[in-house]
């Protein structure tokens, strides 16, 4: 009986110990933590849970912007995490020793992910060296015919829809074009998406994998919980993930079995392998799977965002359409060499990526045990692996960096010699816009992405007039983000060439 009588006392002691632990932890984070001098919401400074909630909810980009508007250029968004909207790109992502390592909790890790260039540590340089020849300017010139093939197919399908007076989901069209292009460049054959402008089963599986990877990142903060969650994934979902990856493996193997010396990505990579760079088959599969996402979804998202803003800003659309149509006498003149000479097109691309960055969140880095100076602020040594980042959406929409940051104004990117230049944007901190990041781990496909976006947008406006369909959601921009945006259908009317919306 005495033992039973003591049970309530033991329970009270246990509960008190737990409360004391969390209270002590909160007090330390609030007043004694190395980051305690940085402003931020109290709940965020004492617990990572609010930050994880944004991640799961998919509202991280918008929430972080609100925090920067309230607290300033540097915000403590979690006990061990700082968000910067200053010009700290080189400090966080640049070439420096020791390098700030990637934060693995940003990624839904699998053995396949770990093998790719996105997370490889000391192997990163070796893998990038082998991938680089496939993304050089020389390679892209050899591949130009492949790129124009799919923009041509896009034009044909849009003409059909125009004759049928049917609205078109341009978000889907851009995905189909970019995926077919990269599949041809990677595997030696397209996915067949441009034939009907519809997703294949494989692409639908890939989108499921992308969403799961983004939505599950929050669990990485709790390794045990993450392991339990992965063990509890329903079989049909795991089968979808496995099937998507196996499709990539099969396509790589099929391309490798071809005897052709076609100048596609795998062909150029294998040729470089003979010259000294190495990559295992597992690494090859993992990087092919990665590039099918990174080389497609982000480009299609940028084009979708730009299209939305153009169709909601008629004067800008008219100026851009006029520039494209007056620059070329025929469609054959629209090439990768000629398009960069169109300043307003380039300005629209930059402004589109500022307003609707394909990756809206900050890509986190971890400070080394020796400490690091970020934007003039020293992160002390051994400060519990502090995470730092520049959130694209927040940095690009903050008045500290851009005049009238919520206004879509391509003029801000024009040179002062251009007739449309507007001096009110002269103070804009244009170097803060880094949609492809900087440093040794910046996007290897940057040049390809620009060429694709220019070709697709120029072909669209050279051939057609365009306007938003009544079927399009007026709140299209109000989207959730799980590393990439969960895009809504972008319904557009395709009009005859003489019609400028």
Tell me the residue length of the chain.
501
Is there a single domain that holds both residue 388 and residue 500?
no
Is there a single domain that holds both residue 222 and residue 367?
no
Residue numbers in the chain where pLDDT is lower than 70: 1-8, 11, 13-14, 18, 21-22, 107-115, 119-122, 215-216, 218, 220-221, 223, 226, 229-230, 233, 237, 259, 272-277, 382-384, 499-501
**Cα distances (Å, whole numbers) of residue 224 to 219, 221, 227, 231, 446:** 9, 9, 5, 11, 37
Write down the pLDDT at residue 272.
64
11 within some domain: no
* Residue 368, Ramachandran bin (φ over 0: left; ψ between -120 and 50: alpha; else beta): beta
169 within some domain: yes
Is there a single domain that holds both residue 159 and residue 263?
yes
Domain end: 434, 457, 475, which one? 434
98 within some domain: yes
443 annotated ligand-binding residue: yes
430 within some domain: yes
Is there a single domain that holds both residue 287 and residue 227?
yes
Write down the pLDDT at residue 228.
73
Is there a single domain that holds both residue 288 and residue 146?
yes
Which stretch of DSSP H or E encloses residue 460?
helix 446-463
426 within some domain: yes
How would DSSP label each residue in 288-307?
HHHHHHHTTHHHHHHHHHHH
Is there a single domain that holds both residue 181 and residue 293?
yes
Nearest in space to 301 (alpha carbons), one of 113, 148, 456: 456
Write down the pLDDT at residue 383.
63
Q: CATH number, domain at 481?
A: 1.10.630.10
Is there a single domain that holds both residue 52 and residue 74?
yes
Domain end: 434, 453, 488, which one? 434
Domain count, the chain: 2
Q: Tell me how far apart the alpha carbons of residues 449 and 167 are, in angstroms, rounded to a whole number.
A: 26
| pTM check: above 0.85 | yes
Is there a single domain that holds both residue 306 and residue 194?
yes
480: its two tokens: 């959730």
Is there a single domain that holds both residue 447 and residue 429?
no
Neighbouring residues of 130: CB distance < 8 A, sequence distance ≥ 6: 269, 272, 273, 277, 278, 279
Q: Tell me how far apart the alpha carbons of residues 403 and 408 are, in angstroms, rounded to a whole number.
A: 11
210 within some domain: yes
8 within some domain: no
Domain span including residue 370: 16-109+358-434
Domain end: 434, 467, 487, which one? 434
Is there a single domain that holds both residue 50 and residue 123?
no
6 within some domain: no
Is there a single domain that holds both residue 268 and residue 166?
yes
Task: Count the neighbouring beta carbons within 10 Å of the beta carbon of residue 474.
Answer: 9
Is there a single domain that holds both residue 119 and residue 90?
no
Task: Count the neighbouring beta carbons within 10 Å of the beta carbon of residue 55.
Answer: 26
Helix, strand and coil in the chain, % to nearest 5: 55, 5, 35
């Amino acid at each position: 009986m005495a033992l039973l009588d003591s049970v309530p006392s033991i329970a009270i002691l246990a509960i008190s110990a737990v409360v004391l632990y969390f209270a002590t932890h909160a007090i330390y984070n609030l007043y004694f933590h190395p980051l305690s001098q940085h402003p931020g919401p109290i709940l965020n400074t004492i617990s990572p849970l609010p930050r994880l909630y944004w991640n799961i909810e998919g509202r991280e980009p918008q929430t972080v912007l609100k925090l920067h508007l309230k607290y300033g250029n540097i915000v403590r968004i979690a006990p061990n995490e700082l968000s910067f909207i200053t010009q700290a790109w080189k400090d966080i992502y640049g070439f420096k020793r020791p390098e700030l390592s990637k934060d693995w909790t940003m990624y839904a890790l699998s053995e396949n992910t770990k093998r790719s260039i996105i997370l490889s540590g000391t192997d990163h340089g070796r893998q990038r060296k082998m991938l680089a020849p496939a993304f050089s300017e020389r390679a892209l010139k050899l591949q130009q015919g492949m790129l124009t093939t799919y923009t041509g197919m896009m034009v044909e399908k849009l003409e059909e829809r125009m004759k049928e007076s049917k609205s078109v989901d341009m978000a889907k069209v851009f995905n189909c074009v970019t995926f077919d292009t990269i599949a041809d460049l990677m595997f030696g054959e397209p996915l067949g998406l441009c034939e009907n402008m519809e997703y294949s089963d494989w692409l639908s599986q890939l989108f499921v994998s992308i969403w799961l990877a983004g939505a599950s990142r929050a669990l990485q903060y709790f390794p045990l919980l993450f392991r339990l969650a992965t063990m509890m994934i329903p079989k049909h979902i795991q089968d979808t993930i496995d099937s998507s990856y196996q499709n990539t493996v099969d396509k790589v193997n099929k391309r490798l079995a071809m005897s052709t010396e076609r100048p596609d990505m795998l062909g150029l990579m294998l040729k470089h392998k003979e010259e000294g760079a190495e990559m295992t088959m597992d690494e090859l599969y993992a990087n092919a799977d990665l590039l099918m996402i990174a080389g497609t979804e982000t480009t299609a998202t940028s084009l979708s965002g730009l299209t939305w803003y153009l169709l909601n800003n008629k004067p800008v659309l008219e100026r851009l359409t006029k520039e494209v149509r007056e620059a070329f006498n025929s469609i054959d003149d629209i090439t990768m060499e000629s398009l960069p000479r169109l300043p307003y097109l380039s300005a629209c691309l930059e402004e589109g990526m500022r307003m609707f960055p394909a990756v809206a969140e900050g890509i986190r880095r971890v400070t080394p045990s020796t400490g690091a100076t970020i934007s003039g602020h020293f992160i002390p040594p051994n400060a519990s692996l502090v995470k730092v980042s520049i959130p694209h959406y927040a940095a690009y929409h903050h008045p500290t960096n851009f005049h009238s940051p919520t206004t879509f104004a391509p003029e801000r990117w024009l040179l002062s010699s251009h007739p449309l230049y507007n001096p009110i944007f002269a103070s804009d901190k244009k170097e803060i816009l880094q949609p492809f990041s900087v440093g040794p781990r910046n996007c290897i496909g940057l040049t390809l992405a620009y060429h694709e976006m220019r070709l697709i947008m120029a072909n669209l406006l050279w051939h057609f007039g365009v306007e938003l369909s009544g079927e399009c959601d007026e709140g299209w921009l109000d989207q959730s983000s799980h590393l990439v945006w969960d895009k809504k259908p972008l319904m557009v009317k395709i009009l005859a060439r003489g019609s400028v919306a």
